[in-house]
A and B are shown apart, each in its own frame.
Chain A
Amino acid sequence: MNSFGFEIQKDNTIEYDKNDLSLAAFVLRHEPSLYNCIQCGSCSGTCPASAISSYQFRKMQLLMRRGETKHLREDVAHCMLCGKCILVCPRGVNTRNVIRQIRIALNMN
């Protein structure tokens, strides 16, 4: 038999209607400045944790807001709350409190 190398691909679609958005709602309620994010990446470009891991504040919170929370716990564990991201954010997002709120929601404190 020939092998054509087909295999079942993992579906990459964000199932927005099926995803649970309650965690995002909690975080946004406690830190509404996150609504103002423009996905510029200043935070993740300057973040010392992003330089040494796959964690990125920008991507992490965007995925969270789409209900994609699978890696959230390990992601936020990388953050050292150094605050560099707050210093550069052009929209004044309180990034550190966003992380704090996620940790509270996930009982990580």
Chain B
Amino acid sequence: MRALKKEVVIIGGGPAGLEAADSLNKLGHAVTILEKEGKPGGKLSNWHKLFPDNVSADGILKQMVHKISGDIQLITNVKITKISREGTKHSVWFNEGKCIQAEAVLVAVGFDLFNASLKEEYGYGIYDNVITSAELESMFTGQKSLATVTGKTPERIAFIHCVGSRDEKVGFRHCSSMCCVTGVKQAIEIKKRLPAAEVMMFYMDLRMHGRFYEDLYLEAQEKHHIQFIRGRLSESSENPDGSLLLKADDTLAGSPIKVKADLMVLLLGFVPTDFHRKMGEEFGVEIGSDGFFSPCDAHLDTNSVKTNGIFVAGACTGAKSLEYTLADARSASLKIHEFLLQTTSANILN
């Protein structure tokens, strides 16, 4: 067999990008990762523990970053301006005129978290004790303290499901699929830290679909006595003491419910990034009704897009758990490898 070493550029140094870089490197290719932040890791860097088994996010990330050495080049603080193609070569332009060429480009840009202030009736950015699931994680990692803005230990904490998901009014109909389990994981963590606190979840459907997720649900009820109220939050308002008044329809009880809470946590949905739009408009990559990339075939070819030489992996094709993101990244690596072998043999035949 002829030696085959090809250049691959990976856009995004989050979990999908890091995993694919490692796989492609082991398959013998020269890999460059372009990361927009100052360090790799993506959203995983801000997370405390992972569902369903409570392993440390930092520990997982360290193992992944550890593999990024040797032949893999990592460029940080990258702002991509353009991608162009000539023949089989792709040019990725970034940071004022810098350019890198590659035979294949893997897009692994992940997702954005929904901007909670767009859901005005929930009061994020208006009432101080309305926080996001991401902010709660930073309380767990110790960057902020687990308290209300006035420094009080919260006695009652309410989690609000589906914020920025399953909501035509904010333009995102899709279920983000990971926020139910995130919320239950976070609720349990709160009860471990503040056993006296009362925790309640306002949900429409609990989508605990992964392996062992249902066990977390049971643990939340059995060990931690977390209350599950089936109804979407209608609105919240602020009491004079800074606590919040939540209004919903307790649909299973069949009556409207009013509840006071010291802290309200919004479980943010996964939404597409600006880069999705850009790739769609400028490079013809197909975008689904949810705004995420649509691969060539939703069953048989989940990592290719119609544009030759461009591949996609991870949560940029829709919300995924870390487990599935990594599996998808390895699958994309194999797909890219096959593609590079094909283009090489085509060149030899020519």
Contact = CB atoms under 8 A, between A and B. Distances in A.
Q: Tell me, yes or no, whether A binds B.
A: yes
A45 B248 contact: yes
Nearest to A47: B256
Interface of B is mostly: strand
A11 B255 CA distance: 21
Given A40-B251, A51-B256, A88 B231 contact: no
Interface residues of A, number: 21
Given A38-B204, A56-B249, A45 B254 contact: no
Contacts of A56: 249, 254-256
Nearest to B254: A59
Interface string A13-47: 00000000000000000000000001111111111
A44 B232 contact: no
Contacts of B235: 45-46, 88
Interface residues of B, number: 22
A41 B162 CA distance: 13
B251 A58 contact: yes
A91 interface: yes
Nearest to B234: A45
Contacts of B257: 45
A87 B121 CA distance: 10
Contacts of A46: 121, 234-235, 247
Contacts of A90: 162, 166-169, 232
Contacts of A42: 232-234, 248-249
A89 interface: yes
B233 A45 contact: yes
Contact of A41 (B166, B167, B248): B248
A44 B232 CA distance: 10
A50 B231 contact: no
A83 interface: no
Given A46-B235, A88-B121, A88-B234, A41 B169 contact: no
Instruction: Give the most central of A41, A42, A88: most B CB within 10 Å.
Output: A41
Nearest to A85: B234
Contacts of B204: 38-40
| 10 A-B pairs with the lowest CB-CB distances in the bound complex, closest first | A41-B249, A45-B234, A46-B234, A40-B232, A45-B249, A44-B249, A90-B167, A41-B231, A45-B248, A41-B251
26 contacts: A38-B166, A40-B204, A41-B231, A41-B232, A41-B234, A41-B248, A41-B250, A41-B251, A42-B232, A42-B234, A45-B233, A45-B248, A45-B249, A45-B256, A46-B121, A46-B234, A46-B235, A50-B256, A58-B251, A59-B254, A87-B169, A88-B169, A90-B166, A90-B168, A90-B169, A91-B168
